[in-house]
Structure 1
Amino acid sequence: MSDLLRRALPVYGLPEDTPLSLLNRSENETWRAGDLILRLHRQGYHTRPEIASELAWLTALQDLPGLTTTRPVPGAQGLVTGIEGRHIVAFAPIEGQELQPGDDLARWFAPLGEITARLHLHARHWAKPNGFTRKRWDVETILGPQPHWGHWRQAQGLDPQGVTLLARAADTLAAQLHAYGTGPETFGLIHADLRLANLMVDGDTLTAIDFDDCGFGWWAYDLASALSFIETDPRLPDLIATWVQGYSRIAPLRPRDRAMIPSLIFLRRVLLTAWLSTRADSDTALALGGPAYTQGTLDLADRYLSDGLAAFLP
């Protein structure tokens, strides 16, 4: 992949001998190249119009008061570079460090709630350009027979008893989400992957990065995504309440939305359980995946069926 990226460097005005370093391998590969961050897109996931649409939203978010995000950098081909059937995009680097589970998360979840609310307010009123297209994150594309990120039945270490339990919980979850609906007050353009690794901290500034999975989903799902991989952390109820406080300072959050937070957290956990299996070569899967994560999902499923994860209610 480094050879492919070297051929792309002149497109961004960089010499082919610019040092390259791999930063992350997840859904895509992220590389540092001189003063740029390059994202090499995985084949067969996003189309060029989908990638262009992500960057159109990111461009529209630049200089929005109270919000800092990554800045797309165009090359000679525009914002999306095509080389040998692969898509490459570039961003200006961001100062700071990724938020970590061991950090003082309570300090950051109110600002994260504010950032999320500002993203949602912008998305609600933004006139999307012609041809704007992004994936939907709904019942069918997460729990259906052909979901975007793979099916939970492929989870590592899942035995027949676990399949039965998770199937019951998924059916209950799907019924709750269908009743919740996808009307404009409930569902719209969201980041969809505000997990800790996509939040950069620099002093008192929190920056949301990596809009690669942005699409159309439930507004409150952005909170669920922020809790990715820490769903069993004992701090979770307090983090949820703090996020809700921050969000509510910027935009209203209906009681109905608050009531759905536990279901959306469980939905995200099921989605990640499938993703870790289908992306077993990613850095995240190597660090966090495997049968132990699947067992944690089954424990949450049992709690979801017994009390709807009531402890998570803000």
Structure 2
Amino acid sequence: MDYTKCFKEVLLKYSFIDPFVELIRHNENITYKVTEKYSGDTYLLRMHKPITKNMQGVHNTREAVQSELEYLLAWSSHSELPVQIPVPNLNGELVTTVVIEHEEVHCSVLKWIFGEIMSKQDLNSEGTVRTFGTRIAYLHQFSMRYQQGSSFIRPEYEIEWTNTMLSKLRSGEEMGIIATKDFYILENTFSLINDRIKILSKTMETWGFIHADINYSNLILTPKGISFIDFGLSGSGYYAMDIAMGALLTEGELRNALLAGYTTIISRKIDTEQLEGFIFLAIFAYYAFLVSNQDKHMWIRKQMPDLIENYCKPFLNGEAVFYSF
């Protein structure tokens, strides 16, 4: 597909004046930075077309993109920190659909958030990590109050999702990227995680709209504090999944500070054994994504044995691993 032709057609659907366009990346979406040359106003243009079929899913449908944008609009009116606010097209629509080479491509535009992409060095103090925990909690607190419309549709992160992920990793074993003996351990790890998920209850306090992709590149340090960006994989899931992803970004000795920050806003007991499973799923999701990228196959071959030996096996033996990752 000629993506250059595609984004040029999309730009005509908006009121941009003399825009300058820069490609950012192509993962679950194709993203561009759009800057109006004279006003300096800056936007994020997303074409909801994943780089591989491996990443195709409900989140790429027009209805799901619309649902994500409606959530962001609602969140922006409640958040004290910057939010990527959706920008309607000339017809007043949040989602713009164009047809290129007989294929529909759904697109959206968000206001740009200015700040620095966070890194490991930004989450190396107890105070910052505690604040990070409160930011996750505020997001969940809003989700608990958010009223989804009848047409609201986003991915769901539970057993079907974990089984799909395991199937993608199985293709890695079939290609010889993952050793058969290691895949056997992976299967057992997934089985234990699924057993734990099956006994979780879905209540207003445990299940709702989550970001589902909390990583350094999706955290922006703004003058007002830490803002979340890229809700492209957001959906319905256990709040523990976001907490686990946040914990994975911090050193083991600082994770209690993250949990303390979270529970100052949402007062409930956090089960670290439950978080362990979701940390594994965050890691496995990354491996499953890389399986379709031939350039990363050597990296998977090198890293998988360490993951199996130092984390999966102790986990299966009943050892606590929350603080070890």
* Distance apart, 1:111 and its partner CA: 2.0
Distance in 1 between residues matched to 2:139 and 2:303, nearest whole Å: 30
Give the structure 2 partner of residue 199 of structure 1: 219
Distance in 2 between residues matched to 1:226 and 1:287, nearest whole Å: 26
Contact 2:273 2:322 in 1 (8 A): no
* Distance apart, 1:102 and its partner CA: 3.6
**Correspondence list, 1:36-55, <5 A:** 36-42=43-49, 44-45=56-57, 46-55=60-69
* Cα 1:64–1:288 shift into 2, 3 Å: farther
Is 1:5 the counterpart of 2:24? The answer is no
Distance in 2 between residues matched to 1:183 and 1:104, nearest whole Å: 31
Contact 2:247 2:258 in 1 (8 A): no
Contact 1:273 1:293 in 2 (8 A): no
Out of 237, 246, 258, the residue aligned to residue 243 of structure 1 is: 258
- Which secondary structure state, in structure 1, belongs to the residue aligned with residue 278 of structure 2? helix
Is 1:71 the counterpart of 2:77? The answer is no
- Which secondary structure state, in structure 1, belongs to the residue aligned with residue 263 of structure 2? helix
* Distance apart, 1:66 and its partner CA: 3.9
Contact 1:277 1:289 in 2 (8 A): no
* Cα 1:171–1:55 shift into 2, 3 Å: same
Give the structure 1 partner of residue 38 of structure 2: none
* Cα 1:67–1:287 shift into 2, 3 Å: farther
Contact 2:123 2:129 in 1 (8 A): no
**Correspondence list, 1:119-134, <5 A:** 119-134=139-154
* Cα 1:55–1:243 shift into 2, 3 Å: same
Higher mean alpha-carbon deviation, 28-37 vs 289-298, is at 289-298
**Count, aligned residues:** 299
Distance in 1 between residues matched to 2:77 and 2:131, nearest whole Å: 17
* Distance apart, 1:291 and its partner CA: 2.3
Distance in 2 between residues matched to 1:273 and 1:98, nearest whole Å: 23
- Which secondary structure state, in structure 2, belongs to the residue aligned with residue 59 of structure 1? helix
- Which secondary structure state, in structure 2, belongs to the residue aligned with residue 260 of structure 1? helix
Per-residue CA deviation, residues 55-108 of structure 1 (Å, 9 max, x unaligned), is 111000113244432111111241101011001111111111111124344353
* Cα 1:192–1:91 shift into 2, 3 Å: same
Give the structure 1 partner of residue 305 of structure 2: 295
**Correspondence list, 1:165-204, <5 A:** 165-203=185-223
Out of 236, 241, 246, the residue aligned to residue 226 of structure 1 is: 246
Give the structure 2 partner of residue 90 of structure 1: 109
Contact 2:87 2:111 in 1 (8 A): yes
Out of 251, 274, 279, the residue aligned to residue 265 of structure 1 is: 279
Tell me which amino acid in the other structure corresponds to 2:84.
T
* Distance apart, 1:258 and its partner CA: 3.6
Is 1:309 the counterpart of 2:310? The answer is no
Unaligned runs of 5+ in 2: 36-41, 51-55
Contact 1:221 1:261 in 2 (8 A): yes
CA RMSD of aligned residues (A): 2.5
TM-score between both structures, scaled by the size of structure 2: 0.83
Give the structure 1 partner of residue 27 of structure 2: 26
- Which secondary structure state, in structure 1, belongs to the residue aligned with residue 106 of structure 2? strand
Distance in 1 between residues matched to 2:288 and 2:167, nearest whole Å: 5
- Which secondary structure state, in structure 2, belongs to the residue aligned with residue 211 of structure 1? coil
Per-residue CA deviation, residues 164-216 of structure 1 (Å, 9 max, x unaligned), is 11111111111111122434332211111111110001245111001111111
Per-residue CA deviation, residues 98-155 of structure 1 (Å, 9 max, x unaligned), is 111243443532222112111111111222123111110012212x1x34x9622234
Identity %: 22
Unaligned runs of 5+ in 1: none
Is 1:152 the counterpart of 2:169? The answer is yes
